[in-house]
Amino acid sequence: MTGELSPIDKAKFVAAKRAADFVEDGMRVGLGTGSTAAWLVRCLGEMVRDEGLKFKGVPTSTRTAELAREVGIEVISLDEAKWLDLTIDGADEFDTDLNLIKGGGGALLQEKIVATASDQMVVITDAGKEVETLGAFPLPVEVIPFGWQTTHALIEETLISMDVLGRSATLRMNGDRPYITDEGNHILDLHLQRIGNPRQLALVMNQMPGVVENGLFIDICDTVVIGYGDGRVEVRDINEGTVEHDRLDFVETDNLFTDLTD
């Protein structure tokens, strides 16, 4: 079955599978959104079913909530959990300080709230998302629909005044309609090429009326699990650097993958 997977999908899968081992009995765990996070949810569902793993999951989107319930994970809200031991989520870009761009899948608001409410955030990713400087991936900014065009103009003016490269913002679409987030908002994607000072940009964005949240995750991620298409996995910690190089046995993952997709 893995023969049909692209190298990137294999990389996402092995990263998710390794990160599932971070989840222990009794934990409250934030469950991210996106294709890599979906692998994680499926792996955790297998562990609940086959190994009797007992934990509670707090999903970061309606998509993830549906999948988690489908695979047998006990789902609770963040308000029920109050504080989480761990969040595991994907990312669109990460740099050497483990700062991130997230929101390519449109769930950045819940993702940031959930990750911030966690003792540890683990990002699962393929190696292609590592960058020296954030910004090649368009930065998602969630804005309320009321007056979004005014907010859009304000953002572009601000980017010019900050002398940020790129500077154009486009409204994310879903077919011929604006994309609507789980919170009923729109997303503006900022095409910046290079974000010289992500910390400053994140603060400036969130001060603008109409902006709900931006996709820069600064000082939130503690650990990155990087998967490679040949089954190799690297675990990098914010304090200790690379703490593990491993290779998942594809015979084992082949079986798991087949089980998961049956």
Ligand X SMILES: O=C(CO)[C@H](O)[C@H](O)COP(=O)(O)O
Binding site for ligand X (CB under 6 A): 32-37, 89-92, 102-108, 111
Task: Confirm whether 111 is a catalytic residue.
Answer: yes
The CB-of-100 to ligand X minimum distance in angstroms stands at 8
State the minimum distance, in angstroms, from the CB of residue 37 to ligand X.
6
Q: How far is the CB of 26 from ligand X (least distance, A)?
A: 26
Q: Which has the closest alpha carbon to 136: 87, 172, 94, 175?
A: 94
Site of tokens 């600064």: 218
**Which residue number, 6 or 161, has a Cβ lying nearer to ligand X?**
6
Give the nearer residue to ligand X in terms of CB position, either 2 or 36. Answer: 36
Strand extents, DSSP E, the chain: 28-31, 56-59, 74-75, 86-89, 93-94, 100-101, 121-126, 139-143, 168-171, 173-174, 177-178, 186-191, 211-214, 216-217, 223-227, 232-237, 241-247
Using the minimum distance from each CB to ligand X, give the nearer residue, 12 or 236: 12
Least spacing, CB of residue 92 vs ligand X, in Å = 5
Question: Smallest distance, Å, CB 25 to ligand X?
Answer: 26
The set of long-range contacts for 170-178, using a CB threshold of 8 Å and a minimum separation of 24, is 170/138, 172/106, 172/140, 178/145, 178/148
Nearer residue to ligand X within complex by CB, 160 or 216: 216
- In 10 A of CB 222, how many CB atoms? 19
Measured CA to CA, the distance from residue 115 to residue 191 in angstroms comes to: 25
Q: Report how far residue 123's alpha carbon sits from residue 112's, in angstroms, rounded to the nearest whole number.
A: 12
Nearest CB to ligand X, comparing residues 149 and 206: 206
d(CA 28, CA 75) in angstroms, rounded, equals 10
Which of 225, 188, 184 shows the shortest CA–CA distance to 91?
A: 225
Binding-site residues, please? Answer: 33-36, 89-92, 102-105, 129
Q: Which of 4, 51, 80, 111 is catalytic?
A: 111
Binding residues for substrate: 33-36, 89-92, 102-105, 129
The residues carrying an active-site annotation are 111
